[in-house]
Structure 1
Amino acid sequence: MTAIAIDDEPIALDVVRNHAAKVPFLELQATFTNAFEAMDYLRQQPVDLLFLDIKMPDISGIEFFRSLSRKPLLVFTTAYSEHAVAGFELDAVDYLLKPFSLPRFLKACNKAHEWLQLRDTNGTKAYLFVKTGYDQVKVNFEDIDYLEATGNYVNFVLGNRHVLSRMTITECEVLLPTDRFVRIHRSFIAAIDKVEKIERHQLAVNGSILPIGSSYLAAIKNLSAKA
């Protein structure tokens, strides 16, 4: 699992480097005190995971992550607990509150690694099993129009059929192949081949109109470019 770390404090980066060196499945490729240098690096060398401070000069970690068109898995590293809500909104894998220990760092890495393995494994399959109540329901990727988060559940919309499962939209995103599905909103994931029309703030998916979140505009522009 490849990663980079961004923090305006060199001492904080030393902590991440020292911890990362002890995690056998993690390759910390680079560290940055300058967010814009990191942005240029990511354009040329995408990674699986990003360790990101929130309070930085010129651009915050939140603004930085929202600007990325290709988003890696995210672990926030910050000294400010009040930013936990922002981490949740950006679907961060974890939220490390400074100073964090090696066991706590390892826990975040394990979680990210599990998400990454789930995503890679499902990229070779044409379906997934979704838990509904006590049952496991098989859902073919080709049948999915879109997914919608509703409270603590996610609604899989399959034409006229719906499958409701108690899971988060981020957990679903990890399970879906990235070449077939795109996150368009905090609460919506759309099947790329079911998109009929893309407008400025919404798109049509098999007859349904779905909103486009401001944080996901770059992904939609990339989708338009491929069309």
Structure 2
Amino acid sequence: MIRAIALDDEPLPLEILRAFCERIPEEISLLATFSKVTEAKQFLETEDVDLIFLDIQMPFLSGLDFYRLFGADKLLILTTAYSDFALESFDLGAVDYLLKPFDFERFHQAVKKALRYQSTASKSAAKDVIWVKSDSRQVRVELHQILYIEAMADYLRIFLENGKPLVTRMTLKKMVEELDENFVRIHKSYIVRKDKITAKSPKEVQVGSVTLPVGSALGSTAELD
């Protein structure tokens, strides 16, 4: 099932989207609707969302710019009264482009297309990248570039082979869910990519020139193999 939100500066389209979603609860859950960009942005920072229904013509910030800045790692269905943004929506990788007014059948077609996208992504043999928010933008991080990740209260520092560490607002528990089996949590404050470990002992591991502690909950350094 898809977890979705909707952003539109007009109340009627949001009411229609909610009513349509309620007709197919086994396929989609509309978690929240928003008429203000700031509220939608805050929700995305803390909640697990798969899909955004997004109007294009918004006050202060266009829907397309909102998606580029805050939702680039989500599936996108554009809902608009204007047909002249179709090419730009294609460039953003939008799942579908719903022209207002659209009926339930056309809406359902778009949802089923999003479900196919979601299914294809979940069956991917290996996860190559994650998207993290850093400095008010979505940053693409290639998993093989990650050395280790350090927790600092509600923030994480992602240390990479090349470039400065990225700082993102996320818990270590949530990050573990985003990563693949090549990573292991070695301590309450650290995740390490296994193939970046250059030396290990029961109490610490070496990642290049950096020494990291191993928590007692790990049990055995065999888990690092």
* TM-score, length of structure 1 as denominator length: 0.58
Inter-CA distance 52–69: structure 2 relative to 1 (3 Å threshold): closer
Mapping 1:69-108, distance limit 5 Å = 71-108=73-110
- Of 120, 123, 126 in structure 1, the residue corresponding to residue 122 of structure 2 is 120
Deviation at 1:3, TM superposition (A): 0.3
2:93 counterpart SS class = coil
- Of 172, 197, 205 in structure 1, the residue corresponding to residue 162 of structure 2 is 197
CA deviations 1:62-84 (Å, max 9, x no partner) are 11011116621000000000011
The aligned counterpart of 1:67 is 69
1:181 pairs with 2:181? no
1:2 counterpart SS class = strand
The aligned counterpart of 2:10 is 9
Q: Which runs of 5+ in 2 are unaligned?
A: 132-139, 146-159, 171-190, 193-225
1:37 counterpart SS class = helix
One-letter amino acid of the counterpart of residue 45, structure 1: E
- Of 13, 37, 40 in structure 2, the residue corresponding to residue 35 of structure 1 is 37
CA deviations 1:187-223 (Å, max 9, x no partner) are xx98531685349xxxxxxxxxxxxxxxxxxxx9569
Instruction: Write the distance in 1 (CA, Å) between the matches of 2:115 and 2:85.
Output: 23
Pick the structure with greater CA Rg: 2
One-letter amino acid of the counterpart of residue 60, structure 2: D
One-letter amino acid of the counterpart of residue 12, structure 1: P
Aligned residues: 147
1:75 counterpart SS class = strand
Mapping 1:125-136, distance limit 5 Å = 125-126=125-126
1:80 counterpart SS class = coil
Q: Which runs of 5+ in 1 are unaligned?
A: 127-176, 184-188, 200-219
The aligned counterpart of 1:21 is 22
Give every structure 1 segment of 4 or more consecutive aligned residues whose post-TM-superposition deviation is greater than 6 Å: none
Identity of aligned residues (%): 37
* TM-score, length of structure 2 as denominator length: 0.58
Instruction: Write the distance in 1 (CA, Å) between the matches of 2:5 and 2:47.
Output: 10
One-letter amino acid of the counterpart of residue 109, structure 2: K
